[in-house]
Amino acid sequence: MHGKWIRRISLPRELARTALICFPHVGGSATYFAPLAQCIDPAIEPLSVQYPGRQDRRHDEWAGSIDELVDGVLAELPGTVEGRAVALYGHSMGATVAFEVCRRLPEFGVTPQALFLSGRRSPRSVREEHNHTHTEAELATELRRVADTPPTWLADPELRELLLPVVRMDYRAIESYVYTEGRPVECPIVVLTGDDDPYVDVDEAKDWESFTTGDFALHAYQGKHFFMESNLPAVGQLMSETLARLN
């Protein structure tokens, strides 16, 4: 499967009953979730979103807003997952994109099974952030601050020149996002957070409960913003067991 927006990140799982759509963070690409794909049950087909402006989409026009990302995903997602249950997982900026996609999927005849969110505070927990206006040096410092292990590409001047503009555009999209009040989603929301994440505290994570009429669960892991990388087996098991109960 190699659509413009939705990508397969594991070997085909033709008997999978559920498609898990993963939404990357600021500067992230579809391949970021490939390690997670190896930690989830074979009954789940892991797919990932490829935003424009990176990797094989580096020549595509960047999205200037969360709404543009949501519209792009929704133009492709319903046809991709036809006949299977659908769950969504978004990390950081991807959590906001996944949430907004989840809100609109019923318009396309798709009822989401579950919404997993990590590394992002609830839409009503607003902070003033202006990372998109920072210099390249300041952006690099910010990326080091939030990571348990600083990204290796920050040490390569050529890669920094290639990737920091993508990071800046993603920051602009998420920092200009304004939540519009509406009906909560009906599927369960499962929130995952790092206990030392500078972008979200426990209260901001708990507030996601008010955005669903379904069940809610909050799980804290040791680590900063990218805690998932050092907790992959536990995260994969949580997702697998949650979706198994819902099938």
Tell me the per-residue pLDDT of 44-71, one tens digit each, with 9 for 90 and over.
999 999 999 999 999 999 898 999 999 9
Spot the catalytic one: 29, 122, 225, 240. Answer: 225
Residue by residue, DSSP assigns the chain as: -B-SSEEE-SS--TT-SEEEEEE--TT--GGGGHHHHTTS-TTEEEEEE--TTSGGGTTSPPP-SHHHHHHHHHTTHHHHTTTSEEEEEEETHHHHHHHHHHHHGGGGT--EEEEEEES---TTS-----GGGS-HHHHHHHHHHH-SS--GGGG-HHHHHHHHHHHHHHHHHHHT------PPBSS-EEEEEETT-TT--HHHHHGGGGGBSS-EEEEEESSSTTGGGG-HHHHHHHHHHHHHHH-
Specify whether 91 is catalytic.
Answer: no
* Residue 59 designated active-site: no
pLDDT of residue 149: 63
Return mean pLDDT, the chain: 92
> With 80 as the cut, is the pLDDT of residue 90 above it?
yes
Catalytic residue among 92, 118, 122, 240: 92
What does the pLDDT average to over 143-154?
Answer: 76
Asked whether the predicted pLDDT for residue 130 surpasses 80, the reply is: no
pLDDT single digits (tens) 231-245: 999 999 999 999 999
* pLDDT value at 148 more than 70: no
Is 60 exceeded by the pLDDT of residue 101?
A: yes
Position 71 scores a pLDDT of: 97
